[in-house]
Structures are given as C-alpha cells and as structure tokens.
Amino acid sequence: MVYKSFEKNYFFYSFVLVVLISFSTIAQEKKIEVKGIIFDQTNITIPYVSVSIIEKGIGTSSTEDGEFSMLISKNELQDSLSISSLGFDSFKIKVQDFLSQKEQKIVLKESVVKMDEIMLFKPSEYVFSAVEKLKENTISKPHKLELLYRRAATEGGKSKFFVENYIKIRDRGPAYTLGIVEVAEVRKSADYRIWKRTQWTHSINYMASGNPLRPSEKKPNLKKYNWKKIGDSSYDGEDVVIVKGTHNSNKWDFITFFIGLDNYAIYRIERPKSLYLYKKHKSGKLHLNYYSREWGFGRDMIPEEYWNTEAEKMTYRLEAFVYDVETDKKKIRVRNYGGDTDMGSVDVPYNEQFWNTLSMPPDTKFYKKIKSELEGLYGVSLQNQFKLSNK
C-alpha cells in the first residue's frame, strides 16, 4: 500500500512538474526580441525615434545612437512596426518582414518642409494655443503608464551610485499634476558615494515638476519668456514649427517647443539639460515616450563637511523609457507606494527574474558612461554589483 501510494504521488508530482515546465517553455517562446538601428539617407543614426506597434500599445524609443529593442509575442509578427521621428517621413514595415531582413536596419527619408517664411501667428501665439489644446492633444483621461526610470549619482564627474525603478503611474497626462505612483521593482549598484544623500521624495516628482506643461509650484510663467521661431520640422506628415523661449530675466533659462501646425500638438520639449519626447497612442493622442535630465548642486546645498571633496561636485543623471500605456479602466489600478521616498531607498524585494526578463533598451551613451565609471572604481561588473547589493 505504501509503495502504491508513493507511486501514485510520484506520478502526480511528475505530471505537475511537466505541466509547469511546459507552461514555462511556452511563456519563454512568446518573447521575441525585435531590435535594430535607424539611419537617415546619409547613413547617420537617428536618435529618439518612436518605434511602435500602435494597435497593440507596444513601443519604445531609439537611443542617442539610433538603436532600439523591444520584446513581442508571435501574435505580433504580422503587425506593422510604425517608425516616426521629427524631421523624417513616417515608415511602416511588417514585423516579420523586418526580422527577415539581412540587416536589422531602417532608413528614414528626410521630410521636405515647405513652410512659408511669413508665419500666420506670432511665435508666442503658437505656444499659448498649444497649451490651450493640451487636454485635447494628450491622453487626459485616467490611464496607466509603465516606465523604466534610472538615476545615477555622480561625484567629481564620475558615477558613484546607480538605481533603476520600474514604475507604474495612474496619470491623466501633462495637463494635470502627476497621479498615483507605484514603484513596482527596484535594483541598485554598490554605493561608492562619499555623501550618501537621500532625497526627501522620489525623483519621478522632479520629472513632473520640471515639465513646463505640468501644473506645479515650479511651473514657469510662459508669458515671461521671449519667444522666437528657430526652425521648421515635421512629424508623421504634419508640419512642425520650432519655437524657443528665453526668460526675460534669467537668460540661462530657456524652453523649446516643437509644435504641430495642424492641431498644435507638442511633440518635443527641451529645457537646460533636459528633454521630453511624446509619441502618438493608438487613440491618436500623445503621451510621454522618453525623458532625460542632468542637474547639479550648488555649494550652498552641500553639507560643509563634504566641501573640498569629490562630493562637492555632485550631480544626478536621469533617464526614463516608457514601456506601456494602458487606457482600459479595468486595468489601470495602481497602489500608492514609493512615490514619496528617495528612489534609492524604496523598500521593494529584489526580483532578479523580473530584471533578467525585462525588455531592456539598448545601452545608451548615458548608460554606457555610468556602467564604465561604476565598474572602473573597483573592477566589479555592474551585474555582479546588482547581485551583491540587492536582497
């Protein structure tokens, strides 16, 4: 009887194990990496290009070097990759056809812009019209953004600490204050800083407050900027005017908007050492796609005990890639966690499997520099630092 019971249990658990392995194998088979590099017709790479399967809400942005990477399932092989960039004609290709190419590259044709030199409106009027139509042109109903958010702390010009958060935000777009923030996953490097500074809040809040479109205490008064047209471009077949505003008093402070002439949509925002890129959702409305920024500390912001050390020259380098935008009301629930905590201090258990299976963007110049600097300090690879520094 004992033998039969053992035999029965043995076959039962063996069956369960086989089923679990089968499910695991199927899950792995669903992921197909689509990666490549985007060039112009002169064979120069194009940075910050929107690469999407719009109908499925899947997408990414190319890096400064024009490289992109994302994971899809077999179900998307017959869908089309939509490639859009300021200054170039949009391009579409079936995913399967792209993967079948001998070289995984895309060449975009520069768009011909024939905008009249005489503008119908003053440059400032384009800005104010774009702000007025912000709710119309962006996803302004509750939705969920999922993004990879990175921050490197530097001292003496070298990265000393690096942290990545995978974040979910229940948001309403740039016309509103930032919504509920959930820090879902965390990993960080070894901490080689002299001054182990912690922020009173999460860096994601500075991404929001630094956006000149978001309501906040720091939102700039756009009427105090002197606006000039500095160029023309295009996006997805639409003429785009490039307007730069310089603050009347603080000449170092500027804002540059890339504004569509058909509907006054804002496709790109540049500020001192910061960049916001927007792309189209399947609804036709815009949402954030990529963000980067670098900012430093004045000596008056650094404790006196760290003066005359490398910590006296401290900066933060930040970068974010938006992975997913969910508009289904049933799927946008987000728990409020980590948004009021320094991103390097958020208490989330390290999930190595998540990070190993996440569709990471190609190594950007930003990331390569950080990785090289961190590994050069003591000769420990960044991957080993992740394993040793996270629990």
Residues 6 or more apart from 306 whose CB is under 8 A from it? 194, 195, 312
Quick: pLDDT tens for 79-90. Answer: 888 898 998 999
Percent of the chain predicted with pLDDT > 90: 65
Taken as a whole, the chain contains a residue count of 391
Q: Give the pLDDT confidence score for residue 17 in this predicted structure.
A: 45
Residue 281 to residues 12, 49, 52, 287: CA-CA distances in angstroms? 47, 15, 9, 7
Q: Give the pLDDT confidence score for residue 7 in this predicted structure.
A: 46
Does residue 77 or residue 7 have the better pLDDT?
A: 77
**Residue 62 clears pLDDT 90, i.e. is over it:** no
| 167, 149 Cβ separation under 8 angstroms | yes
Which domains, and CATH codes, for the chain?
32-107 (2.60.40.1120), 123-389 (no CATH)
Q: Which two tokens stand for residue 122?
A: 């003053």
Quick: pLDDT tens for 280-323. Answer: 998 999 999 999 999 898 889 999 999 999 999 999 999 999 99
